[in-house]
Structure 1
């Protein structure tokens, strides 16, 4: 039996037999073993936190530079209230003062820093100020043991100074979204604004080469029927990425919604375009004894709502990932906070819905006195 290696965020195991690997694939995130929560007093209340949970200052200073057909920020649960993506950050000083305040109760507790939301690089000044504010929080005792930026990369084209700024901040890695090696197909999926040079492969390639000088770059590719859908597609994409010096790539299955979100054009696209991960995994390694030529199984990661398989292919680290939004919501329902999100209205919540699992809100401004 595989021996588990547990980090604060997930659990890594290497299947010893083909039967065990088959069990991993069948059970996926269900094999994640929750660890004892950490008790923290914050905002006048006791809270239970999952060790290693991540903190996200939701990036929403300006509208996104792309309109990805699979955008999770356009999904609203049946029990949801509002979408943070619809409310922009309109007061930077107030926002960053709030950032300092919400981090204060968690000083000394190791957190992962997940820079995501809409597109953090779309407003370079906001991102620069965010890094300065987070750095100040670290100086006062906040601990970010992993720092990841999820981005489409668009802001690096006109503001190349962002890369050394992120390097100075100590970014662990940058996860750069690109859904196809052909720019026309990628544009059909990611839908960059027409004024965004990043839509063009030549600009993308030049940007990646510049980023390599400062940051660890990991490509993120969403599997879709319109784009990367088969193992030959995967191998072609990997060869293309390797040509740009990218040696870490994750292929993500579109998250399984399982009827938990209000129907809209995004849910419809996701359901129509989802490429199931299981046939791809079976094609890569049908059995441990007979993997596809050139592929080596390296292990499996179990998270509280996701499952990854790790491989090596011609010198590149490759990850296949599947996830379940209902599993994420089930974990949230346990009463243990799985994540901390600072929403654009100043609400600190344990959920992508700013009205769910709320830890703290900004006080409403006092009404003006009547004359």
Structure 2
């Protein structure tokens, strides 16, 4: 078993072992021993290799994806960071420097996600400059990933150059279908967003490939990519744009852990489990589908991936469990760090859960 700071990679040697992987998935993840850091007046146990997310929320998102996780609220949840915009950039970046100070020298993964980081180019440029300065001061980001719908690159292509200079490890670009009308039905870009059109998307991807490692991310849905022939058609289309790595994600398994709303209803109605796709690609190691080659499996603390090669493209199928994520968070060991848009640093997507530090309340005015 190969182990990184963030997950564990294994290659099934027999078909029985591969079946076991698929049945147990993330449950086979073996937690690594936690380490302790002194921060904000107390000791915090943390998972080595945890990720840090400065929640991107300077402006409203440029799309309204039907599966948006930022519209989900847990039964024990309090508030949604997505509803609170970053309205004071100097204060925000001062806070960013403050909350990361105790973690200097600790390897962190940097996950640029939340809403749409490219939607406000000024904020993203200032964020990259701030993080770069922190690196000069001892911060260690051993992996840097941007999750994006790509919309901001159309009007501000220089963002790609800024990300290249920053040393971005990869850019995960969301696209849920090779047909722009079907993709729009799922991702629901604002009408003024050119990225909704395939021609604009294709030109953007080709340009980005000159500067960054681009990985396509496709959410599996009943109205979109559903079957393995659908997957192969999408891959052929992506390959024509120069894409060499694609991940197909099952909608995260909620298992009744979130308050019902139109988003949870859509997610459950549209779910496409990955198991039938895995069985169609490689029913057994001895008899894979033509063109498909199993390369291994990744186990995370709340997700499971299977890796393949298909006509020169690396293909990943992923499934994840939000209850497993919440269970890991509930152990008290920090699994991730999120700087919320109100300045709260927490170990949870809920800014009122697993709080490490809040913005100090202003002193009362003198009489």
- Give the Cα separation in 2 of the matches to 1:53 and 1:190: 29
Where do 1:276-291 residues align within 5 Å?
A: 276-291=273-288
Q: 2:182 is matched with which residue: 178, 182, 185? A: 185
- Give the Cα separation in 2 of the matches to 1:103 and 1:38: 17
Match of 2:241 in 1: 244
Offset of residue 17 of structure 1: 0.1
- Give the Cα separation in 2 of the matches to 1:364 and 1:31: 44
- Once superposed, which parts of structure 1, at least 4 consecutive aligned residues long, lie more than 6 Å away? none
> What's the CA shift string for 1:48-106, capped at 9, x where partnerless?
01011000000000000000000000000000000000000000000000000111000
Match of 1:132 in 2: 129
What is the RMSD of the two structures over their aligned residues, measured on CA atoms? 0.6
1:315 paired with 2:312, answer yes
Offset of residue 369 of structure 1: 4.3
Match of 2:97 in 1: 100
1:65 paired with 2:62, answer yes
TM-score between the two structures when normalised by the length of structure 1: 0.98
- Give the Cα separation in 2 of the matches to 1:281 and 1:212: 29
Match of 1:41 in 2: 38
> What's the CA shift string for 1:158-217, capped at 9, x where partnerless?
001000000000000000000000000000000000000000000000000110111000
For 1:171, what is the secondary structure of its paired residue? Answer: coil
- Give the Cα separation in 1 of the matches to 2:24 and 2:223: 28
Q: Which blocks of at least 5 consecutive residues in structure 2 are unaligned?
A: none
1:195 paired with 2:206, answer no
Offset of residue 365 of structure 1: 2.0
TM-score between the two structures when normalised by the length of structure 2: 0.99
Q: 1:29 is matched with which residue: 26, 29, 34? A: 26
Offset of residue 108 of structure 1: 0.4
- Give the Cα separation in 1 of the matches to 2:48 and 2:293: 31
- Give the Cα separation in 2 of the matches to 1:97 and 1:71: 29
Aligned length in residues? 367
- Give the Cα separation in 1 of the matches to 2:283 and 2:366: 72
For 1:353, what is the secondary structure of its paired residue? Answer: coil
> What's the CA shift string for 1:272-324, capped at 9, x where partnerless?
00001111110010000000000000000000000000000000000000000
For 2:338, what is the secondary structure of its paired residue? Answer: strand
Q: Which blocks of at least 5 consecutive residues in structure 1 are unaligned?
A: none
- Give the Cα separation in 1 of the matches to 2:275 and 2:252: 13
1:354 paired with 2:351, answer yes
Q: 1:264 is matched with which residue: 261, 268, 281? A: 261
Where do 1:325-336 residues align within 5 Å?
A: 325-336=322-333
Match of 1:233 in 2: 230
- Give the Cα separation in 1 of the matches to 2:287 and 2:362: 65
Offset of residue 38 of structure 1: 1.2
- Give the Cα separation in 2 of the matches to 1:170 and 1:348: 25
- Give the Cα separation in 2 of the matches to 1:352 and 1:136: 26
1:164 paired with 2:150, answer no
For 2:44, what is the secondary structure of its paired residue? Answer: strand
1:212 paired with 2:202, answer no
